[in-house]
Amino acid sequence: MRRAFLCLCILALLAAPAAASEPEIPRTPAGRVFAAWLAAINSGDPARYRAFDAAYPRKDAPPMEDRLAFQDSTGGFTLLRVEKSEPLSLVVLLRENYSDTVARQEMQVSGDDPPKLLVATIEAIPRPPDLAIPRLTEDGALAALSARAEELASKDRFSGALLVARHGKVLLQKPLGRANRETGAPVALDTRFCLGSMNKMFTAVAILQLVEAGRIALDDPIGKYLTDYPNKDVASKVTVRHLLTHTGGTGDIFGPESEKNRLTLRELSDYVKLYGSRGLDGEPGQRFRYSNYGFILLGALIERVTGMSYYDYVQSRIFQPAGMTSTDSLPETEAVPNRAIGYTRRDSTWVPNTDVLPWRGTSAGGGYSTVGDLLRFTQALESGKLISKALFAEAITPRQGAYGYGFEARGEGALRSYGHSGGFHGVNGDLRVFPQLGYVVISLGNLDPPAASRLADFFTLRMPGS
């Protein structure tokens, strides 16, 4: 009872300043249009949108389906600040109602009566320093996270498991929601969630193990290993390092071709057959461009160099040494105990994502794990059990796009972190490790992004900074 009371008090404290200081909307033509837009999106009512369009027509009005999905995802917005106000233009800062995300909206209207909406853009931005969320004590941050997760779960906006640890000690473990809505099975701490792109961390570690063993060199072209690769330009120009850092220009795997071949793409070699003749979409090494296909190729390298399947290699060289007994990438057709069903939003209803999932997870993503196994993975990495500490430090050093070798690298100083997120229809997860502070934050869920990531954001913005 005392902890629940503390949670409620913290949430009330966090919400109070925003409500008390909400600015007045300017009484200008642009301000009136903005006020009507804000009321429409916060209502989530198609009739309010249609009334807004009729009152303030625009040529490029988004489809109603997109608008409703946007409102469904954000929960609407709260006005934080008016940055610039002129009679026919307005720039404001907004906060999503379902998260701490701050967005800047720019609106321009015509001088007609009533005015026409000429420009309306909205874009997420880094939170300005003067709007920084106050950091809490450790107990306060944990209580706030627990309360926030329960609030979102009660609104059917989160279903999954949370884990926060510090210096190896688990501080919070919290399952919420349902792993299977058809059977009613609840989420438990041993529920296995689809990881999405979080698999890339395992692939990167596997490659770096082979680098340490002298079997792969980071600056070798991939054609040295994939000697029969169809596109010779890709084979000769793209290096292993390029693939690890998403700078190879190798493109993606999602689109009409993958949808058409969803159930026949069963091995990594099937993806190479489908996309291997494709050329580069940019000069290797020149820019960061996230490439799922690049990590498919890394998996193919592992198979070619070791003579093992990618799945057998990561199982024997990563999962087993780390004690990750609930992590794998078995096909969706195989019964896996405690594996959650993913649910994606369609027409304001959660439906199973089984008709969009690939045959099985790959070296680019799509395997499954638990919050406990991911904690064990971080502990094995930090201890040097999987790769040397020196090479691991190189892997989590940010390069182009704030990305290392298969690891996202964020922040500076004590708040520097590494990890990876993952997202797909009905899939969302986030792992963040703060080496200097000792925190490990893991959020896994079986709903569309950003259901799990927004809770990782919530805690990392409030946890102690020292």
Query: Residues spanned by CATH 3.40.710.10 within the chain?
Result: 164-462
pLDDT for the residue 21: 63
- pLDDT score for 304: 98
Three-state helix/strand/coil letters over 1-59 = CHHHHHHHHHHHHHHHHHHHCCCCCCCCHHHHHHHHHHHHHHHCCHHHHHHHHHHCCCC
Q: Among 3.40.50, 3.10.450, 3.20.20, 1.10.3470, what is the CATH number of 22-131?
A: 3.10.450
Cα maximum dimension of the chain: 73
Fold of 164-462: Beta-lactamase (3.40.710)
Residue 382, sorted as left (phi over 0), alpha (psi -120 to 50) or beta, turns out to be alpha
Q: Please write the tens of the pLDDT for every residue from 404-447.
A: 999 999 999 999 999 999 999 999 999 999 999 999 999 999 99
Instruction: CATH 3.10.450 in the chain: give the residue spans.
Output: 22-131
DSSP state of 361: -
Cα–Cα nearest to 99, from 450, 443, 462? 450
CA distance 53 to 30: 15
Closest CA to 39 of 30, 48, 51: 48
- Per-residue CA distances from 310 to 13, 306, 317, 333, 350 (Å): 50, 9, 11, 19, 33
- Reported as a single tens digit per residue, the pLDDT across 34-68 is 999 999 999 989 999 999 999 998 888 888 888 88
Q: What is the DSSP string of 308-342?
A: S-HHHHHIIIIIHHHT-TT-B---TTS--TTBPPP
> Rounded to whole angstroms, how far apart are CA atoms 240 and 231?
16
- For the four alpha carbons of 239, 314, 366 and 258, in that order, the dihedral sign comes to positive
69, 84 contact by CB (below 8 A): no
Q: pLDDT for 89-104, tens place per residue?
A: 999 999 999 999 999 9
